[in-house]
Amino acid sequence: MFTMSEKPPIGSDGPYYRCLCETHVRTGSNIIAAIVLVFGFFELFQNLLTGGIFIILASLMIFAHIKANPWAYWPFLGVAGCFIAFNLILTIACAFMGPTKMAETFDIYPKSQEGKI
């Protein structure tokens, strides 16, 4: 195993840089970027803002791979962390309130209003 001072360069193929089914970190990030890019294009048809955010984040990941700039991965990691935290909070709230109360609270399934258009 390598220490921080003996770490091989990121382009090397050592076991230190393995992830995602034993692929290299850069290959794994390209796989994730491709998946995010495809879902971003599909999301454009439903919501322009979130689709655009996904496409920008995937583009930054591809840029980070091409230019070998690790700073360009940080926006994706930050947004992914926020999504995970938000989903965790919603899961905990749903566990305590119950799904029916959550639907009523956030008006997910609005009641039909008869006679009104």
**C-alpha to C-alpha distance for 87 and 85, rounded to whole angstroms:** 5
CA distances 95 to 56, 82, 89, 99, Å, are: 34, 20, 10, 8
CA distance linking residue 25 with residue 62, whole number of Å: 13
**Three-class SS state of 106:** coil
DSSP 22: T
Q: Taking all residues of the chain, what is their mean pLDDT, rounded to a whole number?
A: 80
As a whole number, mean pLDDT of residues 5-30 equals 71
Closest C-alpha to 97, from 82, 113, 108, 85? 108
Does position 71 have pLDDT exceeding 90, yes or no?
no
H or E element: which one contains 19? Answer: strand 18-19
pLDDT digits (tens, 9 = 90+) for 84-109: 999 899 888 888 877 777 777 777 66
**Residue-level pLDDT at 81:** 92
Identify the band that residue 37 occupies on the pLDDT scale cut at 50, 70 and 90. Answer: very high
**Residue 48 reports pLDDT greater than 70:** yes
